[in-house]
Amino acid sequence: MELLSIGEAAKRLGVHPNRLKAWEKQGLIKPVRLPSGHRRYPVEEINRILGTGGIKAEPDAAVVLYARVSTKEQADAGNLERQLERLRAYAGKRGYRVMAEHSDVASGLNQNRRGLERVLKMAERGEFKKLLIEYPDRLARFGYAYLERHLKHCGVEIEITSQKEPEDAHAELVQDLLAIVTSFSARLYGESLGRKVRQGFRELIEDAEKARREQV
Catalytic residue numbers, as ranges: 70
Do 58 and 23 meet the contact criterion of CB atoms below 8 Å apart?
yes
DSSP β-ladder status, 3-4 and 32-33: unpaired
Handedness of CA 108, 109, 113, 118 (dihedral sign): positive
CA distance 77 to 187: 34
Among residues 12, 3, 1, 7, the alpha carbon closest in space to that of 40 is found at 3
CA atoms of 93 and 85, how far apart (whole Å): 12
Tell me, what DSSP letter sits at residue 14?
T
The dihedral built from the CA positions of residue 21, 161, 168 and 199, taken in this order, carries a sign that is positive
What is the DSSP secondary structure assignment for residue 109, as one 8-state letter?
T
Name the helix (H) or strand (E) containing 3.
Answer: strand 3-4
